[in-house]
Amino acid sequence: MPRAPAYDRDALIDRARDLFWTRGWAGTSMKDLEAALDMRPGSFYAAFGSKDALFALALDRYAADGAAALERLAEETTPLTALRRHLLSFAAPGGPARACMLVKTLLEVGGREDALSERANALLDGMEARFRALFAAAQASGEVAPHHNPARLARRYQADITGLRASAERPGVDARALAEEMAADLDRLAA
């Protein structure tokens, strides 16, 4: 009976994620979104409800993609090398922005206890939990010495990634060298 939407919802969310990721929450206007998604306001609000709602979808999509990429790595190697490769992946060119979208969101809208910053926080917690699980697995398999604390390793690992990716947005910073230095820290965990 009805009429089918003329768009691919998933593709729209992807495009919105890229826009929000690079330009930020306040830096992306409805006019920008309408242009990037080729949608008029009516369709947009029928499909997503609000700019906030689409941003939340974009955040979730971003986090899901990150988690999937990590899981893919974890399936094809040992836990510690997966973490190593995941770290080094942020030194490779490509992607709409370099810095983590969750961190960018947290720093932009944080402070006032916004729904968006809470969501970004929860998603960061989720990533940290995955890191922790991988460090624990690495410890169980002997890749990481028993005296280390997986929770602390995960927190430090996440902080390293945050610093690496933020630095990578600066012109004239050799992200690869920085990433390899951080990766070398992981290699020292065996002892």
Partner DNA sequence: TATATAATTGAGCAATCGTTCAACAACTCG
Partner DNA sequence: CGAGTTGTTGAACGATTGCTCAATTATATA
Question: By the criterion CB under 7 A, which residues form the site for DNA?
Answer: 1-7, 28-31, 39-47, 50-52
Measured from the CB of residue 40, what is the shortest distance to its own copies in angstroms? Answer: 25
Contact between 129 and its own copies by CB under 8 A: the answer reads no
For its own copies, the closer CB: 47 or 180: 180
Helix%, strand%, coil% for the chain, nearest 5: 70, 0, 30
Report the site for its own copies in 18-37 (rule: CB under 8 A): 22-24, 26-27
Q: Which of 85, 88, 110, 189 binds its own copies (CB under 8 A)?
A: 110
CB of 39 to DNA, least distance (A): 6
HSE-CB for 54 with a 13 A CA cutoff: 30
Report helix, strand or coil for 38. Answer: coil
**Residues whose CB falls within 8 Å of the CB of residue 127, separated by 6 or more in sequence, listed in order:** 63, 66, 67, 70, 102, 158
Residue 108: name its binding partner from its own copies, DNA, none (Cβ under 5 to 8 Å by kind): its own copies
Q: Which does 161 bind (CB under 5 to 8 A by kind): DNA, its own copies, none?
A: its own copies
Distance of alpha carbon 27 from alpha carbon 24, whole angstroms: 5
Continuous segment of H or E residues that includes residue 161: helix 150-168
Q: Which does 2 bind (CB under 5 to 8 A by kind): DNA, its own copies, none?
A: DNA
Using CB under 8 A, which residues numbered 133 to 172 contact its own copies? 152, 155-156, 158-164, 166-167, 169-172
- Distant-in-sequence, close-in-space partners of 22: CB < 8 Å, separation ≥ 6: 96, 97
Which residue lies nearer to its own copies by CB, 15 or 43?
Answer: 15
Query: Residue 23 belongs to what H/E stretch?
Result: helix 9-23
Using CA atoms, how far apart are residues 54 and 102, in angstroms rounded to an integer? 15
> Closest separation between CB of residue 107 and its own copies, Å?
5
Spatial contact of 104 and 21, defined as CB atoms under 8 Å apart:
yes
Residues that bind its own copies (CB under 8 A): 22-24, 26-27, 97, 99, 103-104, 106-112, 121, 124-125, 152, 155-156, 158-164, 166-167, 169-174, 177-178, 181-182, 185
